[in-house]
Amino acid sequence: MKTVFTKELSAANIAALLKKPAFDEVTLGPGARASVKKNFGADLTAAQVVHKIVEDIRRDGD
């Protein structure tokens, strides 16, 4: 969690802080990438992981 003092920020700066990146904009850190490679057998992006999970559930059920 990041603490931000907004008193001195413009509305545009505050809006930029509140914007949540889409899955295809997220860069996974080294630990997450290692975990993805271990669990999925490939170096996948966050969006590719989500796509694979959804695809597997549609095919095999949960």
For residue range 22-38, what is the model confidence (pLDDT) as tens digits?
777 888 999 999 999 99
Query: Could you tell me if 6 and 29 are in contact, meaning their C-beta atoms sit under 8 angstroms apart?
Result: no
Query: Is the confidence at residue 40, as pLDDT, over 90?
Result: yes
Number of H helices, E strands in the chain: 3, 0
pLDDT of residue 57: 95
Q: What is the percent of the chain with per-residue pLDDT over 70, rounded to a whole number? A: 100
Q: Which amino acid is at 60?
A: D
Distance CA 37, CA 4 (A): 34
> Which pTM was predicted?
0.62
Domain boundaries, the chain: 24-62
pLDDT of residue 1: 75
Residue with the two structure tokens 């669990």: 39
